[in-house]
Amino acid sequence: MHSRKMAWLFAMAMPLALIPAAHAQTVRHGTIVTLTPIDNRGDDETATTKTKRKIGGFLGQVAGSALALKGGTAGAAVGSVAPQVGENTAAKIGDQGPSAHYMVKLKLDTGKVLSTTQRREDIEGLTSGSRVSVTGTGEDIQLRAE
């Protein structure tokens, strides 16, 4: 008898557990109001900056190896940090390339205004005025062109 009650309670509770998941997947529709680039900081680097870091690190390693061969103990000490110095210096030279993330302000068809952060790759081809479908909530919002 006890197992029947448990099975009945489980059967009744199961649909309630699925309600949040079903709600999170509803599709909303809206229009992009603005796309604002966000400054790249920390690990948030563009492909341009990553490429410059690789080149700078390589050049730093070459220069460091040359110093280590010719400079004895002091040259070896400087040579060991040269790749990192090369990376950091190269990353700061010139243009950083396009922003890696954008703040997207949306006006949903319901009239609600929503702001979300999106990776540049995820909003390729979208501009202010673009119609989009919106799925997910919080940090998991996904935009798709309509």
pTM of the model: 0.51
- Confirm whether 78 is domain-assigned: yes
Those residues whose C-beta lies under 8 Å from the C-beta of residue 97, and which sit 6 or more positions away, are: 46, 47, 48, 49
Q: Which tokens sit at 8?
A: 């009945």
- Residue 53 belongs to domain spanning: 47-97
CA 129/CA 90 separation, integer angstroms: 37
| Domain closes at, from 97, 119, 135 | 97
Return per-residue pLDDT of the chain as tens, 146 residues. Answer: 556 665 555 566 666 555 555 444 689 999 999 999 887 655 666 677 777 778 777 777 777 777 777 767 766 776 777 777 777 776 667 666 667 788 999 999 999 999 998 988 889 899 999 999 999 888 789 999 99
Domain count along the chain: 2
Nearest Cα neighbor of 134 from 125, 124, 123 is: 123
- Confirm whether 14 is domain-assigned: no
- Sequence length of the chain is 146
